[in-house]
Amino acid sequence: MYFLYLCNDFVQRQYDMNDLILRTLQGKKTERPAVWFMRQAGRVLPDYLKLRDLHSFDEIMHTPDLCAQVTLMPVHTIGVDAAILFSDILVVPTAMGANISWTDKGPVFSTPLCQYSDASKQLKPDASKLDYIYRNIDEIKSRISDGTPLIGFCGGPLTTLCYMLQGRSTDNQFNDAVSYIFSNPAETDRLIEALTEMTIEYARNQVKHGVQLFQIFETNAGVLPQNEYIAHFMPAIQRIGQAVKEMGVPVIYFAKSLGLGLQAVTPDMCDFVSIDWQMDFYEARKLVNPAIGLQGNLDPRILFASEEIIQQKLESYRPYWEEHHNWILNLGHGVPPQAPLKSLQFITNYVKRSW
């Protein structure tokens, strides 16, 4: 009987350990930094590459069994503290009538909206087109037995709109999309409103189906001047973040290349803000509201460096974490293609052994 009690106690303690990232987001002091990686589900995982030899990206996204497999792979292979839903930031446009081809060179929209002066009238919203994602979440949750948190996410309104307007990325500049935004301010506002409404519904439904934290990916924040982004797109971020936070789920906001615009991020938008690798970590801390925690900042390219160099970089964050504890270890952007899997494993193992 005593042995059974010890077993149950171990299982409970193991379950509690797996809420490390949730406790961090709640502002609690933790044993070590929580760690996960943007774009951890795919690319560098051997089992994922094997699946991709058999199934297309779109097929994996639309098949609950395959989606669940890929979502949970990095938890077992890399040892991260959270799983993130295997999906794409551009699923919301498909629910607004966009036809997207998922190619090896990225998503391609068959009908870019920038060719229409009345682009908002081309939208055909149908939220039911996202139901498959909620089935995927249900399947993933049914396979998690150890308490590993599941991260949900959406694309930020500017990032999503850039693809919808231009149709595809050209060196991540989106010149056609930016030109449209400046040339058609009233129509752009209508597009932002439609995107925000659909994204809020999408985010809330992810929470209803069991995601425990949520990240907003604004990868293209830097394509506009900071004042333009803050004035026209950050109100939408605030609405999305508030909608999720009101449901009791913490929010992380990632705005790549936002720079000094980090000063405009407020606690009602998010609980943590993710810092890209182009910003000095300690300078970012001075800019960000003290009530907001930090995530990331590790240069993704350091994954190609030696373990000694990676360790030195990790140690540079230790003084901050030991004093404040409101930092989640992550990259300053997604895992690069061809990055060594062993580097990701080294980071998670080092943090678990040495912090």
Q: Where in the sequence numbering do the catalytic residues fall?
A: 39, 43, 52, 88, 163
Specify burial of residue 6 (Cβ count, 10 A radius: 0-12, 13-18, 19+).
exposed
Amino acid identity for residue 1 in this structure: M
**Spatial separation of the C-alpha atoms in residues 140 and 144, rounded to whole Å:** 7
> CA 128, 133, 134 angle in degrees (round to 5)?
80
| Site of tokens 């993130």 | 84
| Site of tokens 């604004």 | 218
34's torsion region: left (phi>0), alpha (psi -120 to 50) or beta?
beta
DSSP state string for 206-261: HHHTT--EEEEEETTGGGS-HHHHHHHTHHHHHHHHHHHHTTT--EEEEETT-GGG
Residues 69-79 as b or e (16 or more Cβ within 10 Å = b): bbbbbbbebbe
CB neighbours of residue 291 within 10 Å: 11
Distances from the Cα of 198 to the Cαs of 155, 158, 176, 189, 205, in angstroms?
11, 14, 24, 14, 11
CA dihedral 249, 250, 256, 258 (to 10 degrees): 120
Closest of 263, 241, 236 to residue 251, by C-alpha: 241
DSSP state letter for 104 = T
| Site of tokens 């042995």 | 3
**Spatial separation of the C-alpha atoms in residues 181 and 189, rounded to whole Å:** 9
